[in-house]
Structure 1
Amino acid sequence: MENKIDNIKDAPAPWTLEGQVAYLFIHGSRAAQDSFNENPDPVLSPFRGGLGGLMLVRYTDSPVGPYDELIFLPGCYQFGDKTYYRISQIYVSSLDSVINGRRNWNVPKKLATFRWNDNNTHVKISLPDQTEPFCTIRVQPRLYCLPIGTGLVPEVFRTLLQPPLEETEDKNAYFKIVPSCSGWFRPIVRLLEFQTDGKEIPSHEQIPLYTYGVGYEAFTLLFPKAELTLH
């Protein structure tokens, strides 16, 4: 592992990523979802619940090359007098993405293997040392795509505040990020299958995902340099 980390490409923010597909499904809040959080801070930044999301993404290009991604956002967290969304669990298919994501934005990326079929509508995701998937997702894109950017989405709904990770030297270093995206927006994506083992992300019983979500195709994502935010 040490030799692999020594060969990691250094890719500081900002990042511009080109994507093939992205699917987003909203879920309701349950207390169990906050337990899927690598480094919780219930005193400084307690979990407040609300709507969260699950995202599945395929990137065709990034500063560290192509990779796949599964993102879990439990809901909102309090910080000072405001609430923010947070990525609490995220799995990617690239070790370069893992290391740089943790360095750049306090995003708790972990490595996983993604096995796709059926034209990017069915994926099985497993840990690197396992063959059985911890998550299986099957979707069905519906209707036509429209050219839309996230400029139409209020900034409050796309602002992330990431707490320091275990390896972060400054334990007060909360990072705020406001991503933006443009591309072909698909207004309806049906969730046909969602199965998990309940260990890496909440199980399908614990996370009440809505059956219909939205998607993007042939999109460009800008993930800016993080803004240091102090309490």
Structure 2
Amino acid sequence: MLPTPRHQMNAPPPWTLTGYGLILVAHFPEAFVRRHGFLQPYQQVAYRGWLGTVMLVNYQTSNVGPYAELLFIPGLFRFGNTTSFSIAKIYVSTEESVVNGRLNWGIPKERADFAFSEPARGYQQISVSRRGQPFLSVQAKTWGPRFPISTAFVPGFRVVQASFFEASEPAVSGLLLTKPTASGSARLASLTNVTIDSTFFPDLSAIKPIIALSVENFSMQFPHPRQIRG
């Protein structure tokens, strides 16, 4: 029997992931999100706004091995009777994460390449590219004391995504609700030299975040999802 190609590795939930990275929380203007936020049709109808986030994480361990991730959550959505967050754009650094993220939770992951520089004098340079085309670069400086963070501070934190078949096309008739949990320690961060190609990711360079955090000892659990009606 031939071995299964590595990129077809099946890794069902639950997942446990650990790593470090950046978390940015901001209010994204509705017009910006609807025009430049990469919303799918089912998300356009359900979008309600409030606060969103950008996460840039280097997972050192996961159920499919180490990988990096960049994601955009523009705010809250209303799917039927459920108010939830939803991921509009996401890149990861391995095909294993792409395939399993789509099949397990309906997360619309795409492949990209990431470069994290070693922190020096409190600064770290991070860049992301796709098929050889750089599309995001940011310099982060951390400062201040460390403090704990947790999804327990956001009661009812959950994400809803349209389900996928064969990790290719979403099936909007099926929505998957997942309640991830996460914790870690954080310091405040200042982001400079932000450059983004809006062809690949929302250009957030002109949006002032409410808070930017550099997160260490980050641990996240992604459980089994459940199906809901939209």
What is the rounded CA distance, in whole Å, between the counterparts of 2:148 and 2:62 in structure 1? 21
- Paired residue for 1:84? 84
Residue aligned with 1:173, SS: strand
- Paired residue for 2:109? 109
Instruction: Report the alpha carbon displacement of residue 25 of structure 1 after superposing the two structures with TM.
Output: 3.3
Once the two structures are aligned, what percentage of the paired residues are identical? 31
- Paired residue for 2:219? 220
Output the amino acid matched with 2:97.
S
Instruction: Report the alpha carbon displacement of residue 177 of structure 1 after superposing the two structures with TM.
Output: 1.1
Distance 1:212 1:11, change over 3 A: same
What is the rounded CA distance, in whole Å, between the counterparts of 1:65 and 1:153 in structure 2? 28
What is the rounded CA distance, in whole Å, between the counterparts of 2:5 and 2:31 in structure 1? 36
- Paired residue for 2:147? 146
- Paired residue for 1:15? 15
Output the amino acid matched with 1:159.
R
Higher normalized strand content (fraction of residues): 2
- Paired residue for 2:73? 73
Instruction: Report the alpha carbon displacement of residue 28 of structure 1 after superposing the two structures with TM.
Output: 2.4
- Paired residue for 1:25? 25
Task: Give ranges in structure 2 of 5+ residues lacking alignment.
Answer: none
What is the rounded CA distance, in whole Å, between the counterparts of 1:4 and 1:215 in structure 2? 38
Task: Give ranges in structure 1 of 5+ residues lacking alignment.
Answer: none
Q: Conserved in 1, the CA contact under 8 Å of 2:42 and 2:172? A: no
TM score, norm. by length of structure 2: 0.85
- Paired residue for 1:210? 209
Q: Conserved in 1, the CA contact under 8 Å of 2:162 and 2:171? A: no
- Paired residue for 1:97? 97
Output the amino acid matched with 1:39.
Q
- Paired residue for 1:193? 193
Aligned length: 222
Distance 1:159 1:147, change over 3 A: same
Instruction: Report the alpha carbon displacement of residue 118 of structure 1 after superposing the two structures with TM.
Output: 4.0
Distance 1:183 1:32, change over 3 A: closer
Distance 1:34 1:225, change over 3 A: farther
Instruction: Report the alpha carbon displacement of residue 216 of structure 1 after superposing the two structures with TM.
Output: 2.0
What is the rounded CA distance, in whole Å, between the counterparts of 1:211 and 1:4 in structure 2? 46
Distance 1:31 1:165, change over 3 A: farther
Matches within 5 A, 1:41-56: 41=42, 45-56=45-56
Q: Does residue 121 of structure 1 match 2:124?
A: yes
Output the amino acid matched with 2:87.
I
What is the rounded CA distance, in whole Å, between the counterparts of 1:67 and 1:6 in structure 2? 14
